[in-house]
Homo-oligomer: A and B are copies of this chain.
Amino acid sequence: MNAIETPTGDELLRVLAALGNPHRMRIVAALAGGRNYVSRLAREIGMSRPLLHMHLQRLEAAGLVVGSLELSDSGKAMKFFEVSPFAYALTPQVVAEAARTLSEPEARGGAPVQGREQGQGREQDQDEKERAT
């Protein structure tokens, strides 16, 4: 199901913000060449593990990669990551459509729940005379 569909505003926003970072682009690129576990990936791309961990969280929250904790043959728990086959089209129309379903800042940054909370319909309507000299 990697057909190109219309994402919600928050989803597209998460995807774009996640991919709009050079480190995360490199991470996705590295994982596109095959799955890998965190420590090894950190070594390969020259990044500290805590940092990589954070970036992977962001990518996973955006649905761009998926991680699974597996047991190696030697009994060590290793977290493998791989890219999910995402496919987004980026055009003015798509952006315009997505922008209509953008939620408020609090709802976005607050809790990364995937349950849709209803749009509050709050549009901006004040006529903002900010030039008050």
Contacts and interface: CB of A to CB of B under 8 A. Distances in A.
Interface residues of A, number: 51
B21 A92 contact: no
Which one of A9, A28, A86, A92 has the highest number of Cβ atoms from chain B below 10 Å of its Cβ? Answer: A92
Interface string A104-130: 010010000000000000001111101
Given A48-B130, A125-B46, A85 B89 contact: no
A25 B97 CA distance: 10
A71 interface: no
Contacts of A96: 28-29, 32-33
22 contacts: A13-B22, A16-B19, A20-B20, A22-B108, A25-B98, A26-B99, A28-B96, A29-B96, A29-B100, A31-B92, A46-B125, A46-B126, A47-B124, A47-B128, A83-B92, A85-B91, A85-B92, A86-B90, A88-B91, A89-B89, A89-B90, A90-B90
What 7 A-B pairs are tightest by C-beta distance, nearest first? A46-B124, A29-B99, A16-B20, A17-B20, A88-B90, A32-B96, A29-B96
